[in-house]
Structure 1
Amino acid sequence: MAPTWNDPDHCPFCEAELPNPGAGFVDHIDDHPTCESGFETWRRNVADDMHGGWAK
């Protein structure tokens, strides 16, 4: 499934509802390896778009 980044209240990788869009997403990917893998792949793909890199 392709990530869907149009709703910050849901994980873009599995569409699970998040308790909040910021820290809730980070907690979610820490607890869900498939979503974390999807995020890491996405982050590698867009890394050159962000000067100075990305923080997690």
Structure 2
Amino acid sequence: MLDISRLELGNIELYYETADIPGVIEEIQRVLSSLVTEKSHKSFTVPVQPRN
């Protein structure tokens, strides 16, 4: 989690890093889908379009 107050005070360093965003979204969907299904018997999906 990003602590904005530390960022404003200059007490935090940020750096760029490559990330597999579709993979992260798929993992979030997998975790949340099982929780939603378990609690409410409804489905949870996040449509992700592949990059060209």
* Pairwise same-fold verdict (TM > 0.5): no
- The structure number with the bigger radius of gyration is 2
- Larger RCO (alpha carbons 8 Å, 6+ apart): 2
The TM tier, using the shorter chain, reads 0.3 to 0.5
TM-score, with structure 1 as normaliser: 0.31
